[in-house]
Amino acid sequence: MLSFDDYGDGIGAAWTVMREHANRAGPDAAVPTCPGWTVRDLVAHQGTVHRWAAATIRGISLDTPAVEADGLAAHDQLDWLDLGARDLLQALVDAPEDLGGEFFLHDAPPPRLAWARRQCHETTIHAVDAMAASLGRAPAAASTWIRPSLAADGVDELLTGFLPRPRTKMRLPSSTVVAVESTDTGDAWTLHLGPDPVVTARGSIADADATLRGTAAALYLGLWNRGDEIDASGAEVLGPWRELFQVVWR
């Protein structure tokens, strides 16, 4: 896991990338990695999430549909994005280290750090979407700004935080073990799939039924359906494994 300051830096870096590529693509450009969305939709979504997270950290309720409508209608939408990102960072800085409340992911760190982590990865993945809009295709992992350590942390959050939640409908009829291995950071995870919620353990085992392998950035983007650079050995036991993972993110 990264530090609180690392996550703040990650939010700032991703916000900058999103702004640059959204401006380059233009508000009406399609977002290839989010079918049906334009850049205007993407920016409105991200700005709304920043405002929602800031409000939640402060213990304030927010009318998110109204906020998103404001974002869609904003005359200078990138300025509107900036205001939300700055407010999120301020909310995180102001929050006490012992911030109370529950966090919605499984096996999460303390709430202040968990919110910084989640918003770092939320903003990073959507900044990749903005890159895709300006390029007209999903970017190669190596062409992004994403550092291996941040990518590995994002994979960890995804596999240990999102997948094991009971509400995640990622199920197989029989017990299946999947190893996920990062070739450049040495991180690994083992997923135990079956009719019950996924159980994720850190570390890999030699006799997994399938292995998903790639650089940390390739795994990060591929498992979030923003890339296609994962080496999937033995994944036929999962059937259409990309569709299996997509169930989680819809």
* Strand order through the sheet with 176-182: 199-202, 188-193, 176-182, 210-214, 231-233
Mean predicted lDDT score pLDDT of the chain: 94
Q: Where are the alpha helices (DSSP H) in 74-205?
A: 77-94, 111-135, 148-156
**75-92: pLDDT as tens digits:** 999 999 999 999 999 999
Find the mean pLDDT for residues 21-40: 97
Query: Residue 79 belongs to a domain with what CATH number?
Result: 1.20.120
Please give the Cα distance from 42 to 133 (Å, whole number): 10
**Whether residue 250 has pLDDT greater than 60:** no
Work out the pLDDT band at 169, boundaries 50, 70, 90.
confident
Are residues 125 and 43 located together in one domain of the fold? yes
Helix or strand (DSSP H, E) at 26: none
More confidently predicted of 206 and 137: 137
Are residues 28 and 108 located together in one domain of the fold? yes
In a domain, 144, yes or no: no
**52-70: pLDDT as tens digits:** 999 999 999 999 999 999 9
Please give the Cα distance from 155 to 39 (Å, whole number): 25
Query: In which region does residue 129 sit, left (phi positive, over 0), alpha (psi from -120 to 50) or beta (all else)?
Result: alpha
Half-sphere exposure of 29 (CA within 13 A, CB side): 22
Are residues 101 and 18 located together in one domain of the fold? yes
- Please report the pLDDT score of residue 241 as a whole number: 84
> Strand 176-182 relative to strand 188-193: parallel, antiparallel, unpaired?
antiparallel
The parent domain of residue 205 ranges over: 152-249
In a domain, 146, yes or no: no
Please give the Cα distance from 191 to 178 (Å, whole number): 5
- Please report the pLDDT score of residue 189 as a whole number: 97
**234-248: pLDDT as tens digits:** 988 888 888 888 767
- Please report the pLDDT score of residue 88 as a whole number: 98
Please give the Cα distance from 114 to 117 (Å, whole number): 5
Work out the pLDDT band at 249, boundaries 50, 70, 90.
low
Are residues 102 and 38 located together in one domain of the fold? yes
Query: Quick check: 28 and 175 in contact, CB under 8 A?
Result: no
